[in-house]
Structure 1
Amino acid sequence: MNFDLTEERQMLQDSLRRFLSDRYTTSVRNDILESETGFSADIWGQLAELGVIGALFSEEDGGFGGAGFDISTVFEELGRAGVVEPLLDTALLGGGLIAALGNDDQKALVEEVIGGAVQLAFAHGEPNSRYELSRVETTAQAEGDQIVLNGRKAVVVNAEAADHLVISARESGAADATDGISLFLVPRDAEGLSLRGYALLAGGRAAEVELDNLRLPASARLGGAGAAWSAMAGVFARAEVALAAETLGAMETATELTRQYLLTRSQFGRPIGTFQALQHRVADLLIEIEQARSAVINAAGHLEGDARMRDLNVAAARNLIGRAGRLVAEDSIQLHGGIAMTQEYELAHIAKRIVMAEHRFGDADTQLERFLDLSAA
């Protein structure tokens, strides 16, 4: 089987890599991290002009990609450069759910997302949910011709900058049931919605979201009442593949920075990279990266397939990436020494991204449990 990129994906990868290598320096990122929004509007607009956002949507939805390998190609390059712009949250999560469930009026937002004019956030995780993606305690109750939302959402990435939030709420069923979950498209400035924002350790911003008698028309619902889980599961799988590919790109950067450092840092009159013990450690990192690449390819290739096999392979990839990522981050820091922890050095940010990526949607142990459950099903 040929795993080489198609000509179109190779062109996308090359153009994105050139753009980010020219524009996304460590100093530029540090300025972005200190900004109020947590991302650069200029870079966001240029990514849209390059077609990067469009590559994450199918032709039917107004893009030109949307397949698993389109996602992995884009996010590997974003991870390689340590990009903090919220493509995962705006395009894959928010945009993906609107594309999957929205009516014609709601889907008009997808075109604006692809053009870079609209930001989105997916308000789903809650204080008690941890990694249980089906646990939704926020309620949606019908009152006349309106729907009233009450509850709290935790660590909603990009909420402050979002023009609209896609909010999950339960209309029926137990707190952890997959049936009964609905999604609602809500303007950020809606009455009854309040945000408490903060910076994230690995870049970007998130917010705690309070829903206090937030009243919406029934037309704000995405899809049918209580029937959002299937679309959510598909979008979560795409986001997890993106996160795995992003981590893979970051692992490659961390290892390359380490290799370069070992070839320039001298001790006892010669580069420390000539010491066999250190060479072996770098070789181990390269082996881990190749295993991680195979896992990402496997997961991306199963995104359009059967739901059980899709989720099984995604869980396997996230488990492997989580374990390999920790090893790469820790060994890269150890081989560098103290300089690896300084904000002015590229590895400091890259290592944080690798470590923190594992904890979104489920850490390595959680992914292993999911894999075992799916294997036994």
Structure 2
Amino acid sequence: MDFDLNDDQRLLKDSVERLITDKYGFDQRRANMAAPGGWSRTMWAQFAELGLLGLPFAEEHGGFGGGPVEAMIVAEAFGRGLVLEPYLATVILGGGLIRRAGDAATQASLLPQIASGELLLAFAHVEPQSRYELHNVATIARQDGARWRLEGDKGVVLHGDCANKILVTARTAGSTRDRTGIGLFLVDVPGEGVSVRGYPTQDGLRAAEVSLAGATGIPLGDPANALPAIERVVDEALAFLAAEAVGVMAAMHASTVDYMKQRKQFGRAIGDFQALQHRAVDMLVLLEQARSMALLATMMVAEDDPVERHKVAAAAKVQIGRSGRKLGQEAVQLHGGIGVTMEYMVGHYFKRMSMIEILFGDADTHLAQLAEGSGVLEAA
């Protein structure tokens, strides 16, 4: 199978990597984190100018018509730079949900605003009881004349404190864990009945707790059957996160090897010791295993069969989670005490890797899903 990039993809790769190298050094990232909202509006405008914000959208919506490979290229570069801006929340999740669930008028209205950098979105699906189940929804949506009123609480809404609109999952029928009766609603922020409390996450990004008390929501598509579109977009997000994780792991590995060449012990660089060389090689093996699964997940994003698509996404999440945890532990240990300081980058990479591991389900959760899907647990 040919994994070579075409000319346009190579140009995109060169452009985004150059941007991250030039504009996203350690000190620049720290300055961006200290900016209002925890990220840089200037960088967001540069992403828009480069076409990154409209990358997955059709040309008639102000986009470039890019596919999964283009998203993978951007994700890996963002992983290397530990980008703070709400690309996953706004473009991949928010924009993806509008593409998959919204009607033509909604797409024509909102997607160009995302591509230009004007509109920021967030996806609110996590609830106190839901853990990693997308269909576990207790938030209620009731029709009130021509409006829908939403009641409930959502947690860990990525970049929810800066979003202009939040896409909220809410139940219009059935019980809490039914797969039917789930709608997706657009809620304006600020708005009546909407309370948002933002906070930093351990990797330096932002999230929010969102409370809805009679908030007005506009349904995207069928208000009782949004789950298939949501699951598809989350599979796309898993592929994006897998590629981002590869970028994070590659940076940790490169930083560790470089440090081993410079750090001296007993008059010699520690990289001269064979035992440490073996550990660095083990890190490379973990990285390449993760890269292979990230490529497979990217290839399967366009698969229409939801079962087959999610199997690969889940398998990638298992490998990414396990590789990332072990590689990160090795990177920190081989750096020694400096590896856990705020003044050195490798610890920040490990924090981001830890957050990627648990987003939309950790390795154990996805391994259990794979076992259930293959019939292993039923047979046992």
Q: Aligned runs of 1:20-59 on 2, under 5 Å?
A: 20-59=20-59
> In the alignment, is the contact (CA less than 8 A) between 1:95 and 1:113 conserved in 2?
yes
Match of residue 250 from structure 1:
248
- Range that drifts further, 360-369 or 25-34: 25-34
- Range that drifts further, 164-173 or 61-70: 61-70
Match of residue 109 from structure 1:
110
Instruction: Tell me by how many angstroms 1:235 deviates.
Output: 0.3
3-state DSSP class of the match of 1:201?
coil
Q: Aligned runs of 1:236-315 on 2, under 5 Å?
A: 236-305=234-303, 306-315=305-314
Q: Does 1:332 align with 2:335?
A: no
Instruction: Tell me by how many angstroms 1:268 deviates.
Output: 1.4
> In the alignment, is the contact (CA less than 8 A) between 1:136 and 1:181 conserved in 2?
yes
> In the alignment, is the contact (CA less than 8 A) between 1:148 and 1:214 conserved in 2?
yes
Match of residue 229 from structure 2:
231
Q: Aligned runs of 1:89-238 on 2, under 5 Å?
A: 89-107=89-107, 108-216=109-217, 220-238=218-236
In 1, Cα distance between equivalents of 2:136 and 2:89? 20
In 2, Cα distance between equivalents of 1:257 and 1:56? 31
Deviation string 1:59-115 (CA, Å, 9 cap, x unpaired) is 465422442212211101100111111111000111111122223442211111011
Instruction: Tell me by how many angstroms 1:360 deviates.
Output: 0.6
In 2, Cα distance between equivalents of 1:215 and 1:288? 47
Q: Number of matched residues?
A: 374
In 1, Cα distance between equivalents of 2:50 and 2:226? 32
Deviation string 1:168-213 (CA, Å, 9 cap, x unpaired) is 1000122112211111111111100001111111122111100011
> In the alignment, is the contact (CA less than 8 A) between 1:58 and 1:67 conserved in 2?
no
Match of residue 345 from structure 1:
344
Output the aligned Cα RMSD.
1.4
Match of residue 85 from structure 2:
85
In 2, Cα distance between equivalents of 1:189 and 1:132? 28
> In the alignment, is the contact (CA less than 8 A) between 2:187 and 2:216 conserved in 1?
no
Letter in 1 for 2:149: V
In 2, Cα distance between equivalents of 1:208 and 1:328? 32
In 2, Cα distance between equivalents of 1:93 and 1:66? 15
In 2, Cα distance between equivalents of 1:231 and 1:82? 28
- Range that drifts further, 181-190 or 27-36: 27-36
Letter in 1 for 2:263: R
With over 3 angstroms needed to count, the CA separation of the structure-2 counterparts of 1:176 and 1:293, relative to structure 1, is: same
Deviation string 1:246-268 (CA, Å, 9 cap, x unpaired) is 01100000000000000001111
> In the alignment, is the contact (CA less than 8 A) between 1:172 and 1:179 conserved in 2?
yes
Q: Aligned runs of 1:4-19 on 2, under 5 Å?
A: 4-19=4-19
In 1, Cα distance between equivalents of 2:41 and 2:144? 39
Match of residue 70 from structure 1:
70
3-state DSSP class of the match of 2:49?
helix
3-state DSSP class of the match of 1:344?
coil
3-state DSSP class of the match of 1:56?
coil
In 1, Cα distance between equivalents of 2:140 and 2:221? 17
Unaligned runs of 5+ in 2: none
In 2, Cα distance between equivalents of 1:130 and 1:254? 29
Match of residue 374 from structure 2:
375
Unaligned runs of 5+ in 1: none
3-state DSSP class of the match of 2:90?
helix
3-state DSSP class of the match of 2:5?
coil
Instruction: Tell me by how many angstroms 1:279 deviates.
Output: 0.3
- Range that drifts further, 186-195 or 55-64: 55-64
Match of residue 361 from structure 1:
360
Larger relative contact order (C-alpha < 8 A, sep ≥ 6)? Answer: 1
> In the alignment, is the contact (CA less than 8 A) between 2:125 and 2:169 conserved in 1?
yes
Q: Percent identity?
A: 42
Deviation string 1:141-179 (CA, Å, 9 cap, x unpaired) is 112222111000001111111111111100012211221
- Range that drifts further, 17-26 or 67-76: 67-76
3-state DSSP class of the match of 1:37?
helix
With over 3 angstroms needed to count, the CA separation of the structure-2 counterparts of 1:320 and 1:58, relative to structure 1, is: farther
3-state DSSP class of the match of 1:358?
helix
Under a length normalisation based on structure 1, what TM-score does the superposition of the two structures give? 0.96
Letter in 1 for 2:95: G
> In the alignment, is the contact (CA less than 8 A) between 1:27 and 1:344 conserved in 2?
no
Letter in 1 for 2:64: F
- Range that drifts further, 32-41 or 361-370: 32-41
With over 3 angstroms needed to count, the CA separation of the structure-2 counterparts of 1:333 and 1:238, relative to structure 1, is: same
